[in-house]
Amino acid sequence: MSRFEMNTRIARSAAGRSEVLDLGGQVTIVRLIWQCCLERGFDIAEMECARLGVRIDPIRTSGRNSMATLGELRKKYDLFRRKTFPQSVNDAQWRYEELRARLIEIKDILAPHFSQTSAGATIVLQEELRATLRLLEPQKVVGFSKIRIGSAGDGGYVQIDDLEELTHAFSFGVCDDDTWDLAMAQAGVPVEQFDHSVERAPSAHSLLRFHRKMITAHSGADTQSLSALVAEFSKTDKPDLFLKIDIEGWEWEVFDTTPDELLAKHAQIVCEFHNLSQLLSPHFYFRAKRVFEKLSRIFAVTHVHANNCMPFNLLANIPLPDVLEVSFASRARYSFEPSQEVFPTPLDAPCSPKQPDYFLGAFRF
């Protein structure tokens, strides 16, 4: 067994033992061992990588984000561990002691690179989190102003004042407030409304059509996918759709599974992103990063607003709301320049009128 492979076994067995230098969860320990191998020049021969099902060249030379690489390796470690680890208390204790000694050896090397939250919590590099959040830094659209559409509280969104040549809008998540939908319909844009949790939409209009279906990655009898809707309603080669999406966390799956070329059919998107406090969880972080990178390729962020009904958190010493409303505009349709705005703006309104809005500043990282 190679030293690299042994270290991997040690890390996976001892994962979860918070007394290991009080460093916390599984990914932190695997990350530390991985970094230890790199720092000390431990062997990562091609044969070993092949055994784990991972090509060596992408790991060494591609420049991929280290968290993404680690995420890929973790899946292989889990499978590898289930197949090969003997279920022995003595073996586990031996590996735990080996890991503890190795972490003590390298803790001074690695300490500056980690930002710890609470005891036992997963640790994410602050710089990596900042790099991901930079994908949401707002920009100004050249030649267009912004407008608020919908209610004066929760349910209203700030977007680019441009509805020209839109063939359809989608409203995902209606509940008891469809003021945005109604305003769009009154402006002449047909709106397809989707919400599986209510029997009907609150408002009636000839350009509103309600569907009691859940938005998911795949269409079915009681579900609907964004991909299928785009294929049905987009009428031109240019961005001619508008998406409003507030579906209590399902937005991550929707964006993650919708192909770029179908997302690109939207001129604008306004979305409420939920559960950002989970960005310290590796599984959630990897998906959020994929989603933000995908959206950033196609759209620029034009507005941000925090939902003050939910907590404001400190993640790796970065202040961030748990729920964030983000407005996007198509890079194919608009031009952009740096924004000097400070958020919230006069167009914004607190989701809860019982307390002030959260201050986001310039929202730069």
Tokens linked to 85: 């680890």
Q: How confident is the prediction for the chain on average, in pLDDT?
A: 79
The pLDDT of residue 173 is above 80: yes
- Say how far apart CA 103 and CA 149 lie, in whole Å: 54
Average pLDDT over residues 265-274: 98
Same domain, 33 and 57: yes
Instruction: Outline where the chain has alpha helix (H).
Output: 3-14, 26-40, 46-51, 56-61, 66-84, 89-110, 126-133, 179-186, 226-233, 251-257, 260-263, 282-298
pLDDT tens digits, one per residue of 283-294: 899 999 999 999
Same domain, 156 and 202: yes
- Say how far apart CA 54 and CA 87 lie, in whole Å: 26
Q: Band of the pLDDT at 122, cuts 50, 70, 90? A: very low
Distances (CA, A) of 1 to 33, 47, 194, 258, 301: 16, 11, 55, 42, 49
- Say how far apart CA 253 and CA 287 lie, in whole Å: 8
Same domain, 321 and 303: yes
Q: Is residue 347 domain-resident?
A: no
Q: Is residue 360 domain-resident?
A: no
Q: Band of the pLDDT at 17, cuts 50, 70, 90? A: very low
Q: What is the DSSP letter of 220?
A: -
Tokens linked to 139: 């920009």
Average pLDDT over residues 151-180: 96
Same domain, 263 and 163: yes
- Say how far apart CA 164 and CA 7 lie, in whole Å: 59
Buried b (16+ CB within 10 A) or exposed e, 79-112: ebeeeeeeeeeeebeebbebbbebbeebeeeeee
The pLDDT of residue 310 is above 90: yes
pLDDT, position 283: 87
**What is this structure's pTM?**
0.69
pLDDT tens digits, one per residue of 66-88: 445 455 555 554 444 444 444 45
- Say how far apart CA 251 and CA 273 lie, in whole Å: 7
Q: Band of the pLDDT at 29, cuts 50, 70, 90? A: very low
Average pLDDT over residues 167-191: 97
Same domain, 232 and 184: yes
The pLDDT of residue 41 is above 70: no
pLDDT, position 116: 45
Q: What is the CATH number of the domain that holds 162?
A: 3.40.50
Tokens linked to 329: 């505009």
Q: Name the domain count of the chain.
A: 2
The pLDDT of residue 57 is above 80: no
Average pLDDT over residues 195-221: 95
Tokens linked to 106: 């390298």
Same domain, 104 and 137: no
